Amino acid sequence: MSEGARFDRTESLNARWPASERGHRITVRGQGFIQPDTTFFAMGSCFAVEIRKALRAKGFRVYPDYPAITFDPEIQTAGRLPLRDNINHYDTFTIRQEIERALCKARWPSECFWRFDGSNPFARDKHWPEIFQDPTRRRIFGRTLGALMDLSAKIGHAIEEGLAAAQVVILTLGLTECWRLKSGGLHAAVGPDSEDDPAGKLLQFRPTGFDENYANLKATLDAIWSRHPEKKIVLTVSPVRLTRTWTDEDVVCANTQSKATLRAVAGQLCRELPRIIYWPSFEYASASDVYRKDGIHVREEVVGDIVSAFLAIHSI
């Protein structure tokens, strides 16, 4: 395990702080639900991207299978695909709306898509005279509305297919700061890049609290289990830090507020619904500095340690 921290599988969980070895020893009860052919679905913050990558590297079938989506790069762009799977859903609002959409196999209406002229940075990079964007997913663009709708539908299908096929659903909870589309009421995957970003005029910033995030996550769990009662659901709080805050707080304080709120939500739901499996990724990362040079993202080998321990502790 990285930096001296470790997970221990045990029936007798640490009850006293000295047994935690200054917070570096985290005890977990094994649930025995993972086999070599277990299939996974991971959705959430960019930590979910890293979990998908680590599970695939270990030979597991992992959904949504975004790398399998085919598209025409001359008229469509999907994040960093095909080089990197980085389609994220950072907050409980976007997770809920995506899961609920997937379960009824709906498609986002064209009215929720944005159109920008050629001065848009992404349009300039592609040398397109105009560009259309699906704001409900991260960095999804089309040269024409038709091209965007086709790509958005393929992403939707990948999510629907993966949610139906996976035996284990992992939801990573990233942040509580969110952005709502002023037109249509959906939530955007990401906010504006800066105060000057033209997308900012189309969005409403919302700092959210316990009640809203609890309601979102409870509704998400209920929706999944109403259709797929057999699925195992794993919650984890992403240790990836806020890149910036749009509140009037210091970013360190805003990050702590966000993670504390989400951890409290996860804890409350685990108490109410014992069948939920909580995995302490955030707690593991908090034991020491496990971050890349940017101080935000968790180092790849540490993600590997977290995933390896999860598999070992919960394997049959």
pLDDT digits (tens, 9 = 90+) for 2-54: 456 899 999 999 999 999 999 999 999 999 999 999 999 999 999 999 999 99
User: pTM of the predicted model, to two decimals?
Assistant: 0.95
**What is the distance between the alpha carbons of residues 126 and 270, in angstroms, rounded to a whole number?**
46
Predicted local confidence at residue 197, as pLDDT: 86
Residue 142 belongs to some domain of the structure: no
Residue 253 belongs to some domain of the structure: yes
Residue 74 belongs to some domain of the structure: yes
Q: Are 153 and 107 in contact (CB under 8 A)?
A: yes
Q: Are 188 and 136 in contact (CB under 8 A)?
A: yes
Q: Are 224 and 99 in contact (CB under 8 A)?
A: yes
If one counts the domains in the chain, the total is: 1
Q: What sign results for the dihedral spanned by CA atoms 278, 282, 284, 287?
A: negative
**What is the distance between the alpha carbons of residues 316 and 310, in angstroms, rounded to a whole number?**
12
Residue 14 is part of a domain; what is its CATH number? 3.40.50.1110
Residue 140 belongs to some domain of the structure: no
Residue 23 belongs to some domain of the structure: yes
Q: Are 55 and 61 in contact (CB under 8 A)?
A: no
Residue 208 belongs to some domain of the structure: yes
Q: Tell me which amino acid residue 48 is.
A: A
Q: Residue 225's closest CA among 233, 237, 235?
A: 233
Q: How confident is the model at residue 296 (pLDDT cuts 50, 70, 90)?
A: very high
Q: Are 199 and 115 in contact (CB under 8 A)?
A: no
Domain span at residue 308 reads 2-106+150-314
**What is the distance between the alpha carbons of residues 214 and 266, in angstroms, rounded to a whole number?**
8
- Segment 52-70, tens digit of pLDDT: 999 999 999 999 999 999 9
